[in-house]
Amino acid sequence: MKVKNHIKNYCEFLLFLLLKRVLPIYKKNENSLLFINTGEIGDLVVSSVLLENIELFNNYKKIRFLIKDEYLELFENYKGEAEFIGYTHKRYRFSIIYKIKLLKMLRTEGFHTVIHLSAARGILNEELTFLTCGVKTFTLNSYRFYLGEYLANYFDKMYTSIIGADIINEYEKHIRLIKHLSDNENALIKFNNSVTFNENNIKLIPDPKSIVIAPFSLLSNRDWSFEYFKNLISILSEKYKIVLLGSKDQGKKLSGLTDNKDITIYAGSLKLCEIPLVIKTAGLFIGLDSGLTHIALKMNVPLIAIIGGGEHGRFFPYKESENVRYLYHQMDCFLCHWQCSKSEMFCLTEIKPEKVINAVYEMLN
Residue 300 CA to residue 191 CA, distance in Å, equals 9
Please give the C-alpha separations between residue 36 and each of 22, 120, 236, 348, in angstroms, as whole numbers: 22, 12, 41, 32
Cα angle at 261 between 259 and 265, to 5 degrees?
85
Q: Which residues contact 205 (CB under 8 A, 6 or more apart)?
A: 281
- The sheet that has 29-36: what strands, in order across it? 83-87, 62-68, 29-36, 111-116, 136-139, 161-162
* Interval 21-31: pLDDT, tens: 999 888 888 89
What global pTM score does this model have? 0.93
Three-class secondary structure of residue 90 per DSSP: helix
Question: Are 195 and 80 in contact, with CB atoms under 8 Å apart?
Answer: yes
Three-class secondary structure of residue 197 per DSSP: coil
Residue 200 CA to residue 208 CA, distance in Å, equals 19
Instruction: Name the burial class of residue 54, with classes exposed (0-12), middle (13-18) and buried (19+) by CB atoms within 10 angstroms of its CB.
Output: middle
Domains parsed from the chain with CATH numbers: 21-182 (3.40.50.2000), 205-364 (3.40.50.2000)
Tens digit of pLDDT at every position of the chain (365 positions): 555 667 888 889 999 999 999 998 888 888 999 999 999 999 999 999 999 999 999 889 999 999 999 999 999 989 889 999 999 999 999 999 999 999 999 999 999 999 999 988 889 999 999 999 999 999 998 666 677 788 889 999 999 999 988 999 999 999 999 999 998 888 889 988 767 886 655 566 678 889 999 999 988 888 999 999 999 999 999 999 999 999 999 999 999 999 999 999 999 899 999 999 999 999 999 999 999 999 999 999 999 999 999 889 999 999 999 999 999 999 898 888 888 888 888 999 999 999 999 999 999 97
Residue 13 CA to residue 101 CA, distance in Å, equals 19
Please give the C-alpha separations between residue 65 and each of 15, 89, 233, in angstroms, as whole numbers: 25, 15, 38
